[in-house]
Structure 1
């Protein structure tokens, strides 16, 4: 469910593009981002920072796309978002006591501190690469290809990266058995 909630604007952008083109899709994504923030604010009583940042970028770059009637602005949005995330993850290595990835995941997994730093830098590299690939596709392929890449390519890249990260972290995890036992205890019907 959280996956659908997180990708709600992207999914609606994709469907709207297929039905009405880039400008309709941009408007739909802007409305979807506002709806996502509103739902988080009024129903869940919490809005994740990622949703605020993404909505802000959709509204700014989407607004520029609609006002200037130029789709290049909305095409830059995923690149800017990924590069902002890269910057935040990189900065977290120098400010504070823990890298951002450790702060996000240490409640689930315990690994040595140097491993958290490596994984944090891997996320930085991933975000930089994702942003670069997005803009490469935007400028070297058709708009249809870019829209398909925006949904399937970026999501696929993220999925593969997360699987590789999980495999890497599992090698160093100190409490993997406890995590599995905790999951099994919450869901006794789950096959082992």
Structure 2
């Protein structure tokens, strides 16, 4: 459920982009009252601009709801919000979708750096171990392997984002941003869970 909540802003981005031409003119007029926003109802080229505004608002709401439920803000959500505000503002100011495209790659590469850097700071434990060790016990080398797999996954995802964005149509990229990223992430999470579970069971048997 939490993973689905993490993808809430991306779903909003996708829906606004797909149905921009059907949005009530009043919504466009309301959006045009905001700084940097200047949209024309029904203009296909403005769909990505409205979708960018939508994902910014959705991410702000995501952080607010998370805080109201858990009384704390999640670091990954905050990092995503900061980058989104930066690249989203540039997208709206210059009316150029390339900025929001690059945001996806930059945040994935930043996450790769965070996962890798976690092995060299503080307790010098992989970020994966810090996040999951209370629920699962596996040998230390396994945590490092899984952490490195996450690093590789984020790097590849960032590269794939650029390949799709600049090798295919804008609509194809929007589809990839939701279905491609979501599908690849779920497959990777399942594969990681099976890998960790296999080693957790082996550890228990050794005892």
Same-fold call, TM cutoff 0.5: yes
Residue of structure 1 aligned with 2:194, choices 167, 173, 184: 167
TM-score under structure 1 length normalisation: 0.87
Residues 82-137 of structure 1, C-alpha deviations (whole Å, 9 max, x = no match): 10110001111222231110001111111000010010001000010011101111
Residue of structure 2 aligned with 1:39, choices 48, 65, 70: 65
C-alpha RMSD over aligned residues = 1.6
SS in 1 for 2:19: helix
Aligned to 1:85: 111
Residue of structure 1 aligned with 2:50, choices 13, 19, 24: 24
Aligned to 2:180: 153
TM-score under structure 2 length normalisation: 0.81
> Are 2:108 and 2:155, in contact at CA under 8 Å, matched by a contact in 1?
yes
Name structure 1 gaps, 5 residues minimum. Answer: 178-192
Aligned length: 177
Residues 162-187 of structure 1, C-alpha deviations (whole Å, 9 max, x = no match): 1111221122104898xxxxxxxxxx
How far did residue 10 of structure 1 move?
0.6
Aligned to 2:83: 57
Aligned to 1:114: 141
Does residue 12 (structure 1) correspond to residue 12 (structure 2)? The answer is yes
Name structure 2 gaps, 5 residues minimum. Answer: 21-46
Residues 16-63 of structure 1, C-alpha deviations (whole Å, 9 max, x = no match): 000111111001111111111222334532111111011111111111
> Are 1:10 and 1:151, in contact at CA under 8 Å, matched by a contact in 2?
yes
Q: Partners in 2 of 1:103 and 1:91 — Cα distance?
A: 13
SS in 2 for 1:70: coil
